[in-house]
Chain A
Amino acid sequence: MGTPAGRLYRRLEGLFAVYKPPGVHWKLVRDTVETNLLKGINSAAPPAPQLQVQFLPESTESSSGSTELKLTATCLPALAEHPRVTGPRFRKLRVGVGHRLDAFSSGLLVLAVGQGNKLLTDLYNSHVTRDYTVEGEFGMATDDFSNTGRLIERTTYDHITQDKLERVLAMIQGANQKALLAYSNVDMSSQEAYELAAKGSLYPQGKSPPIVTGLRCLHFEPPHFSLEIQCLHETQRFLCRLVHEVGLELRSTSVCTGVRRTRDGPFTLQMALTRNHWTLLDIVQAVQQSRSAWRQSTSRAFLPQDTRSRGGEQERHGVDEGARVAVSD
Chain B
Amino acid sequence: MASAKLCQKCAGLLWGRMALVSLSASDSLLSARAAAVRTHTQSWSFTAFRLSHSASPGPPAAERRLTESSLLPYDSPGSNCTATERPSPDSPSLFEDLDRAPPLSPFEEISDDEAVQIVATPPLPPASTSLRDYVSQSETLTKLVQLGVDLWKLEQRRNVGSMLLRLDFQEDIQGRLLFLKDVGLQDSQLGPLITHNPFILTESLENLQARVSYLKSKRFSSEAVCRMVSKAPYLLNFSIQRLDNRLGFFQRHLGLSPLKTRDIVTRLPRLLCGSLEPVKENLKVFELELGFRPNEIQHIATRIPKVLTANKKRLTETFDYVHNTMGVPHSLIAKFPQVLNVRLLRIRERHQFLQYLGKAQYDPAQSGYVSLDRLVSLPDAVFCDEVASATLEDFEQFQKTL
Contacts and interface: CB of A to CB of B under 8 A. Distances in A.
B396 A276 contact: yes
Given A59-B71, A84-B149, A275-B399, A79 B135 contact: yes
Contacts of A87: 150, 152-153
Task: Determine the main DSSP class of B at the interface with A.
Answer: helix
A85 B402 contact: no
Interface string B69-103: 10100000000000000000000000000000000
A68 B113 CA distance: 7
A80 B151 contact: no
A229 to B, nearest CB: 17
Interface string B212-255: 00000000000000000000000000000000000000000000
Interface string A81-99: 0101111100000000000
B66 A57 contact: yes
Contact of B116 (A70, A82, A106, A274): A70
A78 B69 contact: no
B69 A57 contact: yes
Contacts of A86: 132, 152
A139 interface: no
A217 interface: no
Interface string A164-177: 00000000000000
Nearest to B147: A84
A21 B345 contact: yes
B344 interface: yes
B400 A19 contact: yes
A39 to B, nearest CB: 16
B131 interface: yes
Interface in B113-127: 113, 116-117
Interface residues of A, number: 29
A90 to B, nearest CB: 13
Contacts of A80: 132-133, 135-136
B142 A274 contact: no
Interface string A2-31: 000000000000000001011110000000
Give the size range of B's interface with the partner.
Answer: 20 to 34
A69 interface: yes
A57 B116 contact: yes
Interface in B50-81: 65-66, 69, 71
Contacts of A67: 71
A85 B396 contact: no
Interface in B344-366: 344-345, 348-349
A86 B117 CA distance: 30
Interface string A44-83: 0000000000001101000000011111000000111010
B342 interface: no
Residue of B65, B71, B131, B135 ringed by the most chain A CB atoms within 10 A: B135
Interface in A261-316: 269, 272, 274-276
A274 B392 CA distance: 12
Contacts of B151: 84-85
Contact of B402 (A21, A68, A272, A276): A21
Interface of A: 19, 21-24, 56-57, 59, 67-71, 78-80, 82, 84-88, 106, 260, 269, 272, 274-276
26 contacts: A19-B399, A19-B400, A21-B345, A23-B348, A57-B65, A57-B66, A59-B71, A67-B71, A68-B113, A69-B69, A69-B113, A69-B116, A70-B116, A71-B116, A79-B135, A80-B135, A80-B136, A82-B135, A82-B145, A84-B149, A85-B131, A85-B132, A85-B152, A86-B132, A272-B400, A274-B400
Interface of B: 65-66, 69, 71, 113, 116-117, 131-133, 135-136, 142, 145, 148-153, 344-345, 348-349, 380, 396, 399-402
